[in-house]
Amino acid sequence: MVSKPTSAPSKAKSASGSAKKKTPSLVANSLKKTQRKPKASKFKDATAREHLDRHTNQLLATPSDDKTDDAFSYHTGSKADQRRTRAQVDQAALALDMLMKS
């Protein structure tokens, strides 16, 4: 009866076990990802929100008290610009009508 050495297989298992411990598991990787600092929303930041509000207010049309103001003028300065803008709107409306009918 020959006794088998029991210490050799245990060393092989411990060597392979330590190699597995060096590589992080999927759970550890996902845990690291969830611990990241969340990105700040530009809408939650008060200064960024105020800047966006100011920019939006600048883009909005200013109300005018002039009753003769053309609705299609888009606050253009000269009458020629108003006529050109009106013609562009009419052409776009005509093209849209032709597209809808086809």
pLDDT in tens, 23-71: 777 777 777 777 766 666 666 777 877 888 888 877 776 666 555 555 6
pLDDT of residue 62: 66
Contact 36, 30 (CB under 8 A): no
Q: What is the 3-state secondary structure (H, E, C) of the chain?
A: CCCCCCHHHHHHHHHHHHHHHHCCCHHHHHHHHHCCCCCCCCCCCHHHHHHHHHHHHHHCCCCCCCCCCCCCCCCCCCHHHHHHHHHHHHHHHHHHHHHHHC
Does residue 14 or residue 28 have the better pLDDT? 28
pLDDT of residue 97: 92
Q: What percent of the chain has pLDDT over 90?
A: 10
- Coil, strand or helix at 67: coil
Dist CA 102 CA 97 (whole Å): 9
- Given a cut of 80, whether residue 101 has pLDDT beyond it is yes
